[in-house]
Amino acid sequence: GINAEYMEAGRILTLKDLGGRLELDEQDSPSRKRKRPAADQNAMEDAWNSEEPAVKKQKTNAASSGRIRHYAKHKPKTAKDIIGIIPKEKKELLRFPLDWDVVEKAQIVEVTMRKWIDARIQEYLGEAEADLTDFVVGLLVNRTKPKSIIDEMAMVLVEDAEAFVIKMWRRLIFETLKTSYKIS
């Protein structure tokens, strides 16, 4: 299966195993503006990239799986509702409980996140890096904690590693909740 691609002799491959350290040039910095396709995508990207503090916590309810808690009074009906559930504060975001059974069953990492990861890596490094995309996908497949992913990615993305992982984790939470609540 897919886990075999990311393991070698019983251990998970590290970035060092993938061929050394890659550096970002000033011109390849992800801080430069890029065009975004549609208005709906703009709203979702703005929400994911928001650095605003989290709104006051509302009554905690359980999602359909019973394991995902959120801060909404009612079941979300739209993508915008889901974005409102996702914590804005880094600490809370990185501790958000993912329903890994939903992630695996819906193949969220392979089907959705792989494309997103590949696009973001191209944005950060200025070119496609299939090995790095495979590496990050492998970390998600193996349910690696976000803090460990930040540490691994710091070798490649340096100071942008934390921002990359925070955006990735927001997207993973969004896609998981979207699947859990059957929102298209």
pTM of the complete model beyond 0.75: no
Specify the higher pLDDT residue, 110 or 20: 110
Measured CA to CA, the distance from residue 49 to residue 72 in angstroms comes to: 20
Task: Tell me the pLDDT tens digit for each residue of 54-88.
Answer: 333 333 333 333 434 444 567 899 999 999 999 99
Tokens of 94: 């990185």
Task: Determine if residue 143 is left, alpha or beta; phi over 0 gives left, psi from -120 to 50 gives alpha, anything else beta.
Answer: left
pLDDT for the residue 74: 75
Q: How confident is the model at residue 50 (pLDDT cuts 50, 70, 90)?
A: very low
Q: Is 174 helix (H, G, I), strand (E, B) or coil?
A: helix
If one counts every other C-beta atom within 10 angstroms of the C-beta of residue 173, the result is 24
For the chain, the maximum distance between any two Cα atoms, rounded to a whole number of angstroms, is 48
In the predicted structure, residue 149 carries a pLDDT above the cut 50: yes
